[in-house]
Amino acid sequence: MSEFHDAPRRRPTQSEAEAAVRTLIEWAGDDPDREGLLETPARVAQSYKELFSGYETDPTDYLARTFEEVGGYDELVVLKDIRVVSFCEHHMLPFLGKAHVGYLPRDRVVGISKLARVVHGFARRLQIQEKLTADIAGAIDSVLKPKGVGVVIVSEHSCMTMRGVNTPGSRLTTSHLTGEVRDDARTRQEFFELVRNG
């Protein structure tokens, strides 16, 4: 790898980000100095800071605190309908949907809000849905070390519904399974039934 790629990348300043937005406004054909657009560069930079906040966190940190007193519970734990707001890395347009996350605990569980935080931590980045699905499953698998993990994401992609093929209502479904959730037919079926009907 070249020295250029090895060197740490300097993050642009807020004013540089705002200047880039001004350039895009001008490129689109409007005047960034007109009244309605005067504050737009600052607003866009601030909203992007929030929408891409996943770069500021390590989502696996949310899984650090676990509970070992599970009373012998060894069945699937599934949290459904976690809101997903992410951005396609190809067009920087949002994809919106829901994630369903489950795992088969071995000897410890995690607070359910932490599962949602893991989803949000990975979602607030530029990416493709397939990688997002795998990243969530991989984090849960590596930190909790459960018997298995299942993640399903269903979302609508603005890059398809607002432009290009213009197909509103079409949704992409991705899944990533590990361990017994993938390899044991009964557990796999139970996971998908809980996601679909639970």
The one catalytic residue in 89, 130, 189, 193 is 89
Give the per-residue pLDDT at 198: 61
Catalytic residue at 120?
A: no
Task: Report how far apart, in Å, the C-alpha atoms of 103 and of each of 118, 157, 176 are.
Answer: 13, 27, 12
Give the per-residue pLDDT at 133: 98
Catalytic residue at 88?
A: yes
DSSP, res 158:
H
pLDDT tens string 11-27:
899 999 999 999 999 99
Which pLDDT band, with edges at 50, 70 and 90, does 1 fall under? very low
Tokens of 105: 């605990």
Give the per-residue pLDDT at 145: 94
Residue with the bigger pLDDT between 133 and 70: it is 133
